[in-house]
Amino acid sequence: MRRHFWCALLIVPLMVGCGSAAGPSTSAPVQPAGALDPTQGLPKYPKKALVNLETTKGLIVVEVDGENAPVSAGNFLDLVKRSFYNGLTFHRVVPDFVVQGGDPQGNGTGGFIDPLTKRERTIPLEIKVESAKEPSYGKTLDPNLGSAPPILRHNKGVLAWARSQDPNSASSQFYITLADTPFLDGKYAVFGKVVKGLEVVEKITQGDKIVKATLADKS
Rounded Cα gap, residues 201 and 99, in angstroms: 7
User: First and final CA of the chain: distance in angstroms?
Assistant: 33
Instruction: Give residue-wise pLDDT tens across range 189-209.
Output: 999 999 999 999 999 999 999
Find, among 165, 164, 181, the residue nearest to 173 by Cα: 164
The whole model's pTM is what? 0.86
- Coil vs helix vs strand at 170: strand
Domains of the chain, first to last:
44-215 (2.40.100.10)
Name which residue leads in pLDDT, 14 or 65. Answer: 65
Label residues 157-167 b or e (16+ Cβ within 10 Å = b). Answer: bbbbbbbbbbb
Rounded Cα gap, residues 87 and 47, in angstroms: 27
Instruction: Give residue-wise pLDDT tens across range 57-89.
Output: 999 999 999 999 999 999 999 999 999 999 999
Question: Residue 8: pLDDT above 50?
Answer: no
Label residues 99-133 b or e (16+ Cβ within 10 Å = b). Answer: bbbbbbeeebbbbbeeeeeeebbbbbbbbbbeeee
Rounded Cα gap, residues 90 and 104, in angstroms: 10
Residues contacting residue 24 through CB under 8 Å, at least 6 positions apart: 3, 4, 5, 92, 98, 100, 160, 161, 162, 163, 173, 174, 175, 188
Instruction: Give residue-wise pLDDT tens across range 140-190.
Output: 999 888 889 999 999 999 999 999 999 999 999 999 999 999 999 999 999
Instruction: Give residue-wise pLDDT tens across range 90-114.
Output: 999 999 999 999 999 999 999 999 9
| Ordered strands of the 158-161 beta sheet | 90-94, 98-101, 174-177, 158-161, 190-196, 58-65, 48-55, 210-215
pLDDT at 188: 98
Rounded Cα gap, residues 51 and 20, in angstroms: 28
Rounded Cα gap, residues 142 and 135, in angstroms: 15
pLDDT at 28: 39
